[in-house]
Amino acid sequence: MSPNTPLLIIDDDTELCALLAEFLEREGFQTTLEHDGLRGLELALNGAFALIVLDLMLPSLDGFALLKLLRVKSRVPVLMLTARGEDVDRIVGLELGADDYLPKPFNPRELVARIRAILRRAGSRAARGAATDVVEVGPIKLNMGNHQVRIAGENVVLTGAELRVLELLMRSAGQVISRDSLTEQALGRRLAAYDRSIDTHISNLRRKLNLLSGKDPEIKNIRGSGYILTNGQ
């Protein structure tokens, strides 16, 4: 992560935004604040931001709608802010393409830790060479160098988190990976009680890649152990 890494914060709570901006700038980030959904989307699409912190409750355009429109044209990492205890909001946010979420109220230090974890993962992928970063399992071809996924020759658009989960499964095809390990390696945090983020990402991958029961390859849930991607043979 370089000094003055540019972040966009879209939240209608002006007081919270001001406090976050002050804290984040002390931590070496450069922040742009927006309190309106439509203007936030315009900034997100036209600006050169390393990451976007996105709240759900926004005037003009709510966070879900903003994220859905953003993902049509941009893969910029998004950390979504949700109300504490609103599991449905978290699941929907992940399904729409958020890389991670943080429930309100939160400790600013945790926000910084989540942001840095997402940026480290994004940076490590970008630093790799495309030619040496190709993995194939059956009809699935994953190129982490250019973030491209093809299945049976067709391009499939995945979020950053989905790409990381798929990469882990593909590199360990035929082996079970625990939910704890997937959460730590793909999302950069420990698996907490009632955290279903990995399960949501797996569900999205199954749907997008058509890796359903009875197909080969498929993503299987090994009860009490984790997930496995079959070898596709």
**What's the mean per-residue pLDDT of the chain?**
86
- Give the pLDDT band (50/70/90) at residue 3: low
pLDDT at 191: 82
User: Which of the following CATH numbers is that of domain 130-229: 3.40.190.170, 1.10.10.10, 1.10.287.980, 2.40.160.40?
Assistant: 1.10.10.10
Q: What are the tens digits of pLDDT across the range 74-131?
A: 888 999 998 766 777 878 888 888 888 888 889 999 999 989 988 887 765 554 444 4
Closest CA to 151 of 171, 137, 165: 137
Hey, where are the domains in the chain? 5-126, 130-229
Say how far apart CA 41 and CA 58 lie, in whole Å: 11
Which of these ranges, 46-50, 62-66, 178-182, 214-218, has the smallest mean pLDDT?
214-218
Q: Which residue type occupies 118?
A: I
Instruction: Report which of residues 118 and 58 the model is more confident about.
Output: 58
- In Å, what is the CA distance from 64 to each residue of 2, 134, 196, 223? 29, 32, 19, 32
pLDDT at 84: 62
Instruction: Report which of residues 189 and 178 the model is more confident about.
Output: 178
- Which parts of 41-177 are beta strand (E)? 51-55, 78-83, 100-104, 134-137, 140-143, 148-151, 154-156
Highest mean pLDDT among 53-62, 135-144, 148-157, 160-169: 53-62
Q: Residue 214 pLDDT > 80, yes or no?
A: no
> Does the domain formed by 5-126 have CATH 3.10.105.10?
no
